[in-house]
Structure 1
Amino acid sequence: MIEIVPFKREHLDDVYDIELGSFSVPWSKEDLAKDAFENKLSVYFVALYDKKVCGYAGMWHVVTEGHITNIAVKKEFRGLGIGDRLMKALEEVGRERQMLGLTLEVRVSNGPAQRLYAKNGYKVEGVRKNYYADTKEDALIMWKYLIDEEVV
């Protein structure tokens, strides 16, 4: 049984392990904690499988939009729909807070993440050249609008 719940301090060590196993330039444990628990703009969730952390996602609520900062699922739990559930949890917050849309950056080489985002309604709207410091790789900027553009 997969459960999506708010990220709490008791989840930090597990989230950090997922961060280390998912990204070539991971956030430090201190940066994760500061962002999740001190940044008033942040919204974070964890996915629990049998009460064990198997994924997490976070975003910043900046004025009228959500900027997804992190989403990762532990390798052995990938392909089970956990990423979709985490994305939906962030989207639900966006709708509750009447955000215009959600955005994120993704490496041009990260096909699995791009497919996850596209499956959830995100579309490529631009490119950030040399965005990733470790490889100078470009990032695709993807957006999902939450309200009808005619209303804007």
Structure 2
Amino acid sequence: MLTNVKGRRRWPLVSVCLLIPLSHLIVAPARGDEDRFATQVQALLQNYCYDCHGESTQEGMLNLQQFQSTADANARPELMWSVLKNLRAHVMPPADAAQPTAEEIEQIASWIKFDVFRLTPEHLDPGRLTVRRLNRREYDNTIHDLM
């Protein structure tokens, strides 16, 4: 009986010792998102977008310089969706401005999809759901169960 009491006293200590390192792993992806924005995306936005959509010039009443982190972009999902659509359709930047490469467009698009919208392959929209038709036996059994 005394052994059980000692064992029970150890469990809180063991669980705390295990949870502290694991809690660090939970916070780690958020830091990676911010690092990705600061190192990759913000530089691309500055090169291709801030001339027309910055603090001084806000064409279309759009200021992309207001986004200083991924969290700022999370607050405006409809705007980020519009940015993603315009980038993919090559509407922005306009033809007379400097054009990003396909890889740079993909960097911004993947940041919006995976960091801002948090899309993962496990949660993608499967598309239209098609209802399967019942065969004769399944139909008869269903009608029998309903009656």
TMscore range, shorter length: under 0.3
Structure with greater strand percent: 1
Q: Which has the higher helix share?
A: 2
TM-score w.r.t. structure 2 length? 0.28
The normalised TM-score by structure 1 is: 0.27
